[in-house]
Amino acid sequence: MKYTIKEFAKEIRKLYPNDYDDLSDEKLVELWLNKYPNDRDKIDFNKGGKDKVQTTEPSNTTSGSSWGFLRTIIWIGLIGGGIYLFYNSNKNKNYTSSDSTSGTDQSSSVSTVQSSPEEQFNSISIKKDISEYIDTTKFITNLGLDENKKKDLKRILSDPNPDPENKVGTSCGQTERKCKWCPNSFNVDGTYSTIYNDVKKLIKPENIFEAYTAAIAGGFAPSQVKDELVRCCNLYRTGERYFCNYNNQEFCSEKCKTEYKYNH
């Protein structure tokens, strides 16, 4: 029993479902027979109307070979195209993932930006002995500092690195002074000192007399000690760690110093 063209095309489509949906039955059979000419005997070209299938002679194998080669090229192109699309799809996913990760890193970076000076100051762990000293020393109690300022003083004296830039003892410039005896002006040198050391000098004495002596030696009247400690606390909170201390020279020359001494 031989197939009609339509039946034979149907059998081909069963072998390769969806591969040749764009071809008519006649064209599909024509292409098949060009490749497999021996299958001509399986088809009754007179059934179902006149023969619409145009095929080459069985002896002509060039066309069948050409179609086979062409179909191989098509399949290679389809497979290659699929691989290309798959690769680029994964590549895009990697880029998306990379961008996402980059965004996360940037957010993390922003979130880990160095904290403000005040936050750094508040993070200083207060030492137990310092806390007890501030809370129990009569001199500090008599100053009338509020609890916040007392806590600030505790943090200053508990700072593990009061000289972060290693400036202590280095030059911080000069300042101009008037001679105590004559009208001349002169320059005095200054060196860096830490706020930590200045605070320590002001509050370390165990009694008011010693504290006032230290305050006067530092250039402060007794009534200004509290204000100076408050100023130190405020400076520390802004990230400042240093004072510029100038020497105690009062006269522009030894001559003026001697004359002043003999006249007073």
pTM: 0.51
> Is 230 within a domain?
yes
> Is 174 within a domain?
yes
Task: Please give the DSSP secondary-structure letter assigned to residue 179.
Answer: -
Judge residue 56's burial from the number of C-beta atoms within 10 Å of its C-beta, 0-12 exposed, 13-18 middle, 19 or more buried. Answer: middle
> Is 121 within a domain?
no
Predicted local distance difference test score (pLDDT) of residue 112: 46
Please indicate, yes or no, whether residues 63 and 151 belong to a single structural domain of this protein: no
Predicted local distance difference test score (pLDDT) of residue 205: 53
> Is 254 within a domain?
yes
Please indicate, yes or no, whether residues 78 and 135 belong to a single structural domain of this protein: no
Please indicate, yes or no, whether residues 166 and 63 belong to a single structural domain of this protein: no
Q: 181-210 burial, b if ≥16 CB within 10 A, otherwise e? A: beeeebeeebbbbbbbebbeebbebeeeee
> Is 105 within a domain?
no
72-77: list long-range contacts, CB under 8 Å, 24+ apart. Answer: none
Residue labelled with tokens 């039955």: 25
Please indicate, yes or no, whether residues 161 and 219 belong to a single structural domain of this protein: yes
Please indicate, yes or no, whether residues 53 and 179 belong to a single structural domain of this protein: no
Predicted local distance difference test score (pLDDT) of residue 60: 47
* Chosen domain end from 34, 54, 85: 85
Please indicate, yes or no, whether residues 250 and 180 belong to a single structural domain of this protein: yes
Domain tally, the chain:
2
> Is 188 within a domain?
yes
Predicted local distance difference test score (pLDDT) of residue 12: 85
Predicted local distance difference test score (pLDDT) of residue 86: 61
> Is 107 within a domain?
no
> Is 101 within a domain?
no
* Chosen domain end from 85, 110, 139: 85
Please indicate, yes or no, whether residues 77 and 138 belong to a single structural domain of this protein: no
Predicted local distance difference test score (pLDDT) of residue 40: 86
Please indicate, yes or no, whether residues 20 and 72 belong to a single structural domain of this protein: yes
- In 3D, which of 194, 167, 189 has the Cα closest to residue 176? 189
Please indicate, yes or no, whether residues 79 and 137 belong to a single structural domain of this protein: no
**Average pLDDT for runs of 10 along the chain of length 264:** 85 82 86 85 70 50 54 67 62 46 43 76 94 87 90 95 94 94 94 93 62 51 78 94 92 93 88
Give the structural domain span for 75: 5-85
* Chosen domain end from 85, 114, 148: 85
The C-alpha angle 208, 212, 217, rounded to 5 degrees, equals 150
Strand partners, 246: 190
Task: Please give the DSSP secondary-structure letter assigned to residue 234.
Answer: H
